[in-house]
Each structure stands twice: as C-alpha cells, then as structure tokens.
Amino acid sequence: IICHLGGGISVAVHHHGRAIDANNALDGEGPFSPERAGTLPAGQLIDLCFSGQLTKDELKKRISGRAGLTAHLGTTDVPAIIQSIEEGDKKAELILDAMIYNVAKAIGASATVLCGKIDAILLTGGIAYSDYVISRLKKRISFLAPIYVYPGENEMESLAFNAIGALKGELPIQIYK
C-alpha cells in the first residue's frame, strides 16, 4: 500500500508490481487533504450543485483547490499548522488529527483489497517530512504491516531513474495485458 501525502492524498494498492486499486485524489476522492475535500456526503453535494449558489467552476474549486486544510484553517502549510498546535491551537489540532484519522482509515480499507496480506506500507510526499503526522499515523496503522517513510516530492526523478534503468537493461520491463 502506497500513500502519497501531498496537496492531495492518494492511497494505492499494488499487487505483484501492478496498481490494482487507488482513490482519485485529483478530484478530491479519499481522505481530505491540504487542498482537497475528500469523500463528501452525496446528498448534501447534490443539494449544493442545484442550489444556484455556486457555478460549476466554483464548486470544483471548493472540492479540489480550496478545500481540506485550506477551507478549515486557511493554509496548506502543515509545519505552520503544527506550530499553531504547539502554541495551543485546539482547532488546528482537531482538524489535522481528523485528516490523519481519515488517512489511516483509507489505508486500513485498502488492506481489505489484499485480504490483509500486506508486504509493507509506504508513506511518501512532502507531508511525510512531518514527525507529528507520521507518528500519529503509525499509531493507527502499524499493526497492518511494516511502514517505510520516503518523504519528499520525487515523482519525476523516480520515474526518470527507473525508465533509464529499464532502457539500460538493469531493471525488468513489465508488460501488462
């Protein structure tokens, strides 16, 4: 199970080198995140869509872009939010802990896809630099599988590195049918 903790939060299940399940974090699905709403109650969303209060573009921004931590706390800056928590901001603590809870719940749900037979859980992305987030997340999911943390936004470098390795014959090329 790979969980990318960035502006959006994606949780993907991999089996024998193939991604077999994932949430659509780009459209706000899954746990709420710094910029995205996460899974929403469908009935209330339908009501909002037909209320005439928002245009289609405004509604999309409310779900992906100005949602999540931004909507609740006015920022996507997790280190700044943690600083506020350390200074006694209970609202910031409640909201950030709710995000962590939702991430843990999504990872736990993903465990069912593999019938609980998980080799490892990988945590990536900029938020993975945060000891606050990672320690609280580990408390909720460590019973599932070993956890490995790879902080940072290295997607393009990783793709390039592995593509070059495959082209040089150093890594196997997978052909999926």
- Does the structure show a pLDDT above 80 at 5? yes
* Residue 172 tokens, joined: 């196997």
For the chain, what is the mean pLDDT? 92
What integer pLDDT is reported at residue 111 of this predicted model? 97
- Does the structure show a pLDDT above 80 at 158? no
- Does the structure show a pLDDT above 90 at 154? no
Of all residues in the chain, what percent carry a pLDDT higher than 70?
A: 100
Q: How far, in Å, CA of 64 to CA of 133, rounded?
A: 21
Which residue bears the tokens 């390795």? 165
Q: Residue 109: how many CA atoms within 13 Å on its side-chain side?
A: 15
In our burial notation (b when 16+ CB lie closer than 10 A, e otherwise), range 26-54 reads eebbbbbbbbbbbeeeeeeeeeeeeeeee
pLDDT band at 142 (very low <50, low <70, confident <90, very high): very high
Query: Regarding predicted confidence, which is higher, 38 or 93?
Result: 93
- Does the structure show a pLDDT above 90 at 17? no
Homologous superfamily of 2-167 in CATH?
ATPase, nucleotide binding domain (3.30.420.40)
What integer pLDDT is reported at residue 174 of this predicted model? 80
What is the CA 143 to chain-centroid distance, rounded?
A: 19
pLDDT in tens, 103-115: 999 999 999 999 9
Q: Looking at the DSSP assignment, which residues form a beta bridge with residue 122?
A: 2, 148
Find the angle CA(126)-CA(67)-CA(109) to the nearest 5 degrees: 65
Q: Which of 6-10, 94-98, 139-143, 146-150 is predicted least confidently?
A: 6-10
* Residue 145 tokens, joined: 């599988």
**Arithmetic mean of pLDDT, 89-103:** 98
- CA quadruple 108, 111, 113, 116: dihedral positive or negative? negative
* Residue 149 tokens, joined: 């943390």
Q: Phi/psi at 85 (nearest 5 deg)?
A: -65, -45
Domain positions in the chain are: 2-167
pLDDT band at 65 (very low <50, low <70, confident <90, very high): confident
Contact assessment for residue 123 and residue 110, using Cβ atoms and an 8 Å cutoff: no
What integer pLDDT is reported at residue 44 of this predicted model? 87
The number of beta carbons lying within 10 Å of the beta carbon of residue 152 is 13
Q: Phi/psi at 29 (nearest 5 deg)?
A: -75, 155
pLDDT band at 26 (very low <50, low <70, confident <90, very high): confident
